[in-house]
Amino acid sequence: MDPCPFVRLTVGNLALKIPVASKPASSVVHPSSSPCFCKIKLKHFPPQTAVVPCISTESQFPDFQHQALSATFHLSKSDLDRIAAKSIFAGKPCLKISIYTGRRGKTCGVNSGRLLGRLTVPLDLAGTESKAYVFHKGWISVGKDSKGSSAQFHLHVKAEPDPRFVFQFDGEPECSPQVFQIQGNIRQPVFTCKFSFRSTGDRNQRSRSLPTESSGARGWLSSFGSERERPGKERKGWSITVHDLSGSPVATASMVTPFVASPGSDRVSRSNSGSWLILRPGDGTWKPWGRLEAWRERGASDGLGYRFELISDTNGGMGAAGIVLSESTLSSNKGGKFVIDLGANSNGRATLSSTTSPACSPRGSGDYGYGLWPYCMYSFVMSASVEGEGKCSKPSVEVSVQHVNCTEDAAAFVALAAAIDLSMDACRLFSQRLRKELCQQNDLLG
């Protein structure tokens, strides 16, 4: 099946030149000593905020200086249709940017920054599903002081095709559902999932479709996690295996560190988080591909904290140290989206900064994760929807076509999506009961 069309709209290479005669109000830090910032708005999307570096009026913005992207909007076919829809109350689609001097933030409910000016960049998104288009690249005059001098704002706005494979669970992961590939109105089954309990004490609870574990596979599970037996409250041994339509296992997510309540509480803390190992088949056994840690955040957010790292494969040997690709928090009540995006500020969600993004692979796409990660060329990797606690969850998964070269590639992302969804249950307060599918027989009897 063909992937679904998506468009990636990016804003980057921001810079600001302010005439020396332009003096902001005395209560505001002068832009020469403090970065400015801007707010970027696109219809139907949350606004994004980005820092704008100031440069001297004499210098030219160097063509070879490629800054990290300041804002990214991912547009599905339905988003494109909504933005392009004609309305008597709205004009043509455009990107709206408000530029401020001074620090970001609010004091007593009032914005601390001083508005320098606003600008709009017209957008004609027709045809961008198949061809890249640059809407603006260069300087624009913004604002004027009492003498008529204008500041100069530099930006680069570009839209490019970003097709994705879209998968949808037909039920909650713990209910061993089918997984469909979605393309428009077409739903085609591509995987089945099997939830089970990985327990050294009761082999009969294991999924019968799993290949026999070799000593090497058991070694990986023990080295990356812990079969720690602790008195008190814990959730352990969950496993979900993804099979192709022939019944062959093509990926698995295994809980390798139990989710245990911290002493004196009924929650999983960050200092004692649980973890999953995402594995792919290779050379007759399972090979580690990624590791997901999850915990329950304290404070007003009271959300699901998570951290995902890719496990590097160097010269055939696996190392415990990984490359962190995503770390953020999801609302325990409303849920949200788990996102891996190596760009900046994807739809307002926290993503990796340019300083922590992995370096470019010397061979382009073959050094990490079975050739799935061409860091230099693409930013978006995947996203997965997660429902809040107590809600029926049928995760949907979007994966960039650049990261899917075979069935096992897609299956690994599906297994990761199942693990983050199940983590919402694993991190529920221990004062709350789980549904029976997530409880072993002795738990139900207890």
Query: Which pLDDT value is given to residue 414?
Result: 98
Specify whether the CB–CB gap between 407 and 276 falls below 8 A. Answer: no
Distance in angstroms (rounded) separating the CA atoms of residues 290 and 284 = 19
User: Could you report the per-residue pLDDT of 314-346, keeping only the tens digit for each?
Assistant: 444 444 567 899 999 999 999 999 999 876 444
What is the reported pLDDT for 109?
A: 47
* Cβ–Cβ under 8 Å, residues 291 and 308: yes
CA torsion 355→361→365→368, rounded to 10°? -80
The predicted structure's pLDDT at residue 343: 67
Q: What is the pLDDT of residue 148?
A: 65
- The Cα-based distances of 21 to 57, 115, 142, 153, 402 in angstroms read 11, 17, 15, 17, 49
pLDDT in tens, 50-60: 999 888 766 66
| Nearest in space to 36 (alpha carbons), one of 141, 117, 109, 95 | 117
Q: What is the pLDDT of residue 342?
A: 77
Distance of alpha carbon 22 from alpha carbon 30, whole angstroms = 10
pLDDT of residue 318: 41
Q: What is the pTM of this model?
A: 0.79
Residue-level pLDDT at 315: 42
3-state per-residue secondary structure call for the chain = CCCECEEEEEEEEEEEECCCCCCCCCCCCCCCCCCEEEEEEECCCCCEEEEECECCCCCCCCCCCCCCCCEEEEEEHHHHHHHHCCECCECCCEEEEEEEECCCCEECCEECCEEEEEEEEECCCCCCCCCCEEEEEEEEEECCCCCCCCEEEEEEEEEEECCEEEEEECCCHHHCCEEEEEECCEEEEEEEEEEEECCCCCHHHCCCCCCCCCHHHHHHHHHHCCCCCCCCCEECCEEEEEEECCCCEEEEEEEEECEECCCCCCCCCHHHCEEEEEEEEECCEEEEEEEEEEEECCCCCCCEEEEEEEEEEECCEEEEEEEEEEEEEEECCCEEEEEEECCCCECCCCCCCCCCCCCCCCCCCCCCHHHCCCCCCCCEEEEEEECCCCCCCCCEEEEEHHHCCCHHHHHHHHHHHHHHHHHHHHCCCCCCCCCHHHCCHHHHHC
pLDDT, residue 440, reads 76
pLDDT along the chain (446 residues), means of 10: 90 87 45 74 92 78 60 92 74 90 61 84 92 94 74 93 96 96 93 85 37 50 50 82 96 96 90 95 90 89 90 53 88 92 52 33 29 53 91 93 92 97 94 85 52
**pLDDT of the residue at 212:** 44
* Closest to 126 in 3D by CA, of 166, 163, 92: 92
Could you tell me where the DSSP H helices lie in 125-214? Answer: none
Task: Tell which residue, 146, 143, 125, 147, has the closest CA to residue 134.
Answer: 125
* Rounded Cα–Cα distance for residues 363 and 314 (Å): 13
Cα–Cα dist 194/199, whole Å: 15
List the structure tokens of 350: 């926290």
Q: Which residues pair with 265 in a beta bridge?
A: none
pLDDT of residue 365: 29
> For residue 219, what are its two tokens?
């070694």
CA pair distance 421, 405, nearest whole angstrom: 25
